[in-house]
Chain A
């Protein structure tokens, strides 16, 4: 699993940092490094950029995995430089932003936009595979998720927009339901597609979503 991110336009970051002149930067050694949005190199680039516009960078670190427990330890180790700053700029996905936010009272500003949870099919190519719907239908759709791979999240087959197996919204993207049909056919399981899929429960775990493992 990877959290796929994209760096915000620098102007937007600058705007969010208005009035906050001493900045501590946190990157992430896992997903954001892989997507080249918040690894060591990008953190150093950000540091230069901020300094160019007259900001002071009190320090920086790249936490191995910004969303896990070790983040607290890393923050404690860098406490001096963090205390010296008046805000934290986080170059990880929003999970890391949340984690940092839960340990620090100072303003925590995201430098990245979190796009989706996806996997890398070819180097540098990421695609969303699951929208965490809470009621998985992959067993009936040949392992292709109709909620994420189909633009409209349709459950009972393709819309009329399919064109030569591509999706109505983008000639470069495959139509999920064409793929589902082909894979089910190859598996000899087309009967699954013929079966009516009932209306989906969009409140399996109502938001805010929480769960307790006992």
Chain B
């Protein structure tokens, strides 16, 4: 990837990012395969950080692998597992290894994961982590001590446009912008009218917004997410489409829906790009992009 992610964001093009989920274990073959498959098709790849509080190969390890394979990584950093010393140290490491993009997240709660008795750290929150990045860029650490060599990152955060209630989320969204977020990736969105309304509001701020596109692989998954995943709402007409798809064609229907949504967002210039999440089905991301005409 010749251009940096920040350059891509500022170029005015419709930006595409995708996600790499590191393995649980040391067999990296599948992850390398996904990286090679996607690195020239997307502008950057996020590497998840113990997503859903499930212990895995670390985000920074995945980012290094992306660098080695010639891609542009986005380091996901949650506040769940590290205190302020460890977070700062990892930012220093990331910078020295050519990782230039960080996505700051609170992190899922410990009890939803696979180490339910662990101590949740949350020494910082996502707003404070964004400010920490800007502080390190100024050449000082959080203790106001001088750094011998500073960092520079394109920093982003997430927002959930379908959260209920939405108002408290928007207060935090604005605090993240004030704290230095340059781009946002959203939680999965499916209702483009609702998302359009959110974007009308978001457009007043000098940030880039990439809409979260999560591939639907079955009607059951769509219903499950609507009922159980905070801030995700799949409209009934999409569920009906999946139900009506012939046997063996449901995944293709999901790909078609995702492609159609991306194309609509691009054609209407609703937002600045998309973040495609194919959770566990990374190999079909190129098909989704093809379905979107990209």
Contact = CB atoms under 8 A, between A and B. Distances in A.
Interface of A: 151-165, 168-169, 177-178, 180-181, 185, 190, 193-194, 196-200, 202
B164 A164 contact: yes
Nearest to A180: B168
Contact of A163 (B80, B159, B167, B230): B230
Contact of A154 (B84, B122, B165, B171): B122
Contacts of A161: 106, 108-109, 230
Interface residues on B, range: 35 or more
Contacts of A169: 109, 111-112
B128 A198 contact: yes
A202 B121 CA distance: 12
Interface SS, A side: loop
A153 B169 CA distance: 16
B109 A162 contact: no
Given A169-B112, A196-B179, A162 B125 contact: no
A-B residue pairs, 3 tightest by C-beta: A157-B172, A163-B230, A181-B168
Contacts of B178: 196
Nearest to A147: B122
A161 B142 CA distance: 27
B199 interface: no
A157 B230 contact: no
Interface in B40-85: 79-80, 84
20 contacts: A152-B106, A152-B107, A152-B122, A154-B125, A155-B128, A156-B125, A159-B106, A159-B126, A160-B163, A161-B106, A161-B108, A168-B112, A177-B168, A178-B165, A178-B168, A181-B168, A196-B127, A196-B131, A199-B84, A199-B123
Given A152-B120, A160-B160, A165-B165, A194 B171 contact: yes
Contacts of A152: 79-80, 106-107, 109, 120, 122, 125
A168 B109 contact: yes
Contacts of B245: none
Interface of B: 79-80, 84, 106-109, 111-112, 120, 122-128, 131-132, 142, 158-160, 163-165, 167-169, 171-172, 174-175, 178-179, 187, 230-231
A60 to B, nearest CB: 34
B108 A168 contact: yes
Given A157-B171, A160-B169, A200-B123, 15 more contacts: A151-B109, A152-B106, A152-B125, A153-B122, A156-B127, A157-B168, A162-B231, A163-B164, A164-B164, A165-B165, A169-B111, A181-B168, A196-B179, A198-B128, A202-B123
Most chain-B Cβ atoms within 10 A of its Cβ — which of A153, A160, A161? A160
B125 to A, nearest CB: 5
A192 to B, nearest CB: 10
A199 B109 contact: no
Contacts of A196: 127, 131, 175, 178-179
Contacts of A198: 128
A175 to B, nearest CB: 8
A162 B128 contact: no
Contacts of B108: 161, 168
